[in-house]
């Protein structure tokens, strides 16, 4: 079918997320391989966002595809009350890779459902109701997960589920408490959280949920001392710590799981995306032993038709085998340092670049109208002007797919990317920054 015919068929029936339906005319993708996507006209596009931060091993990996074909010929689905070899093997592989005694896996369809089930487990385990979540956060679009979310994607879904309370997490570049450096930012932010808990009765709080590194709100990396202090704060008050590694896990931050950077262990870890690199939908809510023991004699009152889907679990097994065989976790750490240096060069060169942050192959460029005052270029929720649409257009005109939002340009390529391909991405990014630099001059 020709591109125009496909687009007409698509726009006659398909509902798209996060946008008005009128006027949206999506690019039609035909196939993908490695770090590249190809549209229906044959144009080759660099996938600089790994799909939606999930195609970690790259597109069309033969080992994963062959494993999926073999499983499809044997068994795709069975009622989730039955056991299967893929489900058992993948759970054991996940338990081996997660920190400490995070050994007990409840499979979901994706990250939002993983967080929904983390909320349930935390409330049942503690007998408490409140869940604390950071303002700068995204945890998914389902009813509970979007209430946890701190950014404006939450607004249209309000009032949301009851019992969710938001707090300020550390943001060293824009600390609302006026800190002079990263360490002071962590200390002040933690002190404010302690005081907020005191007023709110910490014995009423079931859990604190955090992304170990803030994802689509700016790749904000917290100080290690803050994360350790948060773990201690939870322990002192009988609060469970939930770490959302839906984006951060599976090598994206240069470790199997991002929380390893901070030398702490959560009580519950949620993940998705990179567990199958997006070849099939799959997520997981992972418990420590104390939570597992709690539910030995109590019903875990949750269920999903596709929980532990055999095809998805077989895909997950093959995906982890690729991570190990190709040493992608270490590669992400090493190439991330290379990407970090390249981004710092852009920061020095371009007046519209206020800050760059990078951990593994997961990075963000923060745009400003003034480097000294750190005045935002677009502003929170595009309160000053919208620049992301024009940036996306420039990138796509140069055959690069990147996600831009408000003052942020996000870079998260497949972990298989080469340094030469990183350089190619940087050259295209500079063309977008040439545009944002003109806005600085007009500000």
Query: What tens digit of pLDDT does each residue of 397-421 get?
Result: 999 999 999 999 999 999 999 999 9
Residue with tokens 């994706």: 110
pLDDT for the residue 23:
84
Which residues is 164 bridged to in the sheet?
131
Three-class SS state of 237 = helix
DSSP string over 333-376: HHHHHHHHHHHHHHHHH-TTEEEEEESSS-EEEEEEEETTTTEE
Q: Which of 73, 79, 70 is nearest to 306 (CA)?
A: 79
Helix (H) or strand (E) holding 166: strand 164-167
Say if residue 159 is preceded by a cis peptide, omega within 30 of 0. Answer: yes
* pLDDT of 58: 98
- Cβ proximity of 209 and 118 under 8 Å: yes
Q: CATH number of the domain at 63-325, out of 3.40.640.10, 3.40.50.300, 3.30.1950.10, 3.40.50.970?
A: 3.40.640.10
Beta bridge partner(s), residue 357: 364
Interior CA angle at 298 toward 297 and 303, to 5°? 125
DSSP secondary structure letter of residue 303: -
3-class DSSP assignment, residue 15:
coil
Give domain 3-57+327-442's CATH number out of 3.50.50.60, 1.25.40.10, 3.40.50.1820, 3.90.1150.10.
3.90.1150.10
Q: CATH 3.90.1150.10 occupies which residues in the chain? A: 3-57+327-442
pLDDT of residue 1: 81
pLDDT of amino acid 443: 58
- pTM for the complete prediction? 0.96
Condensed to tens digits (0 to 9), the pLDDT of residues 312-338 reads: 999 999 999 999 999 999 999 999 999
Q: 62 CB contacts (<8 Å, ≥6 apart)?
A: none
In the chain, which segments carry CATH 3.40.640.10?
63-325
Rounded to whole angstroms, the Cα distance separating 315 from 309 reads 10
Q: What is the pLDDT of residue 358?
A: 98
Mark out the alpha helices in 238-309 (DSSP H runs): 289-294
Provide the pLDDT for residue 376.
96
Residue ranges in the chain whose pLDDT is less than 70: 442-443
Buried residues in 251-290 as b, exposed as e (16+ CB within 10 A): bbbbbbbbbbbbebbbbbbbbbbbbbbbbbbbbbbbbbee
CA angle (49, 50, 55) in 5-degree steps: 165
Tokens coding 172: 């060293």
């Amino acid at each position: 079918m020709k591109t125009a015919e496909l687009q007409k068929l698509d726009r006659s029936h398909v509902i798209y997320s996060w946008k008005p339906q009128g006027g949206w005319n999506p690019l039609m993708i035909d196939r993908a391989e490695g770090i590249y996507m190809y549209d229906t006209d044959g144009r080759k596009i660099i996938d600089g966002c790994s799909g939606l931060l999930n195609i970690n091993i790259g597109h069309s990996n033969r080992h994963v595809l062959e494993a999926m074909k073999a499983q499809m010929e044997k068994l795709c689905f069975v009622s989730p009350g039955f056991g299967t070899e893929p489900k058992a093997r993948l759970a054991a592989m996940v338990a081996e890779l997660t920190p400490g005694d995070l050994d007990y896996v409840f499979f979901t369809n994706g990250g939002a459902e993983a967080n929904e089930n983390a909320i349930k487990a935390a409330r049942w385990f503690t007998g408490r109701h409140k869940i604390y979540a950071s303002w700068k956060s995204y945890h998914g679009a389902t009813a509970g997960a979007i209430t946890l979310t701190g950014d404006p994607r939450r607004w249209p879904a309000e009032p949301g589920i009851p019992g969710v309370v938001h707090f300020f997490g550390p943001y060293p570049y824009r600390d609302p408490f006026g800190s002079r450096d990263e360490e002071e930012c962590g200390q002040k932010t933690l002190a404010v959280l302690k005081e907020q808990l005191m007023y709110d009765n910490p014995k009423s709080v079931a859990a604190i949920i955090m992304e170990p590194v803030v994802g689509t709100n700016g790749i904000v990396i917290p100080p290690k001392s803050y994360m350790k202090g948060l773990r201690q704060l939870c322990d002192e008050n009988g609060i469970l710590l939930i770490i959302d590694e839906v984006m951060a896990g599976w090598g994206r931050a240069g470790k199997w799981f991002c929380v390893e950077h901070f030398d702490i262990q959560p009580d519950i870890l949620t993940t998705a995306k990179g567990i199958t690199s997006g070849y099939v939908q799959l997520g997981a809510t992972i418990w420590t032993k104390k939570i597992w023991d709690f539910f030995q004699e109590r019903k875990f009152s949750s269920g999903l038709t596709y929980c532990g889907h055999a095809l998805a679990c077989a895909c997950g097994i093959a995906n982890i085998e690729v991570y190990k065989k190709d040493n992608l976790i270490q590669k992400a750490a090493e190439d991330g340092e290379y990407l970090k240096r390249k981004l710092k060069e852009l920061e020095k060169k371009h007046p519209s670049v206020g800050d760059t942050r990078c951990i593994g192959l997961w990075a963000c460029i923060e745009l400003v109208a003034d480097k000294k005052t750190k005045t935002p270029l677009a502003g929170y929720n595009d309160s000053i002007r919208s620049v992301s649409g024009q940036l996306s257009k420039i990138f796509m005109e140069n055959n690069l797919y990147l996600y831009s939002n408000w003052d942020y340009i996000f870079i998260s390529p497949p972990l298989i990317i080469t340094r030469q391909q990183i350089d190619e991405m940087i050259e295209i990014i500079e063309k977008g920054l040439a545009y944002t630099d003109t806005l600085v001059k007009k500000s």
